[in-house]
Amino acid sequence: MKTVQSFALPATAAAHNFPSFTPLALETRTHVDTACAAFHLLRKPQTMRAYACLENGPIRPIRINGRLAWSVAAIRALLNGEAAQ
């Protein structure tokens, strides 16, 4: 008897519990959290935190009660190749 090998299909983002983010073109908030900013800039959240701590990144966040908030306008400008604000 011949055995049939089965292959698993690629897992979806939902299966891995990846957060889903609003597309930047549809974002209505003025500032987003670190995870969302990292997603849109194709960086890891820890890289974004390092940018904030060392103040050497392409954009700088504001701090609200000790939390980082990244400007959506600055993210858009950076992705469009414009100079950082």
| Per-residue pLDDT tens digits for 20-63 | 899 999 999 999 999 999 999 999 999 999 999 999 999 999 99
71, β-bridge pairs: 31
pTM value?
A: 0.76
14: amino acid identity, one letter: A
Using alpha carbons only, how large is the chain's radius of gyration in Å?
A: 18
Q: Give the CA distances from residue 78 to residues 2, 12, 17, 23, in Å, rounded to whole numbers and listed in that order.
A: 57, 29, 28, 15
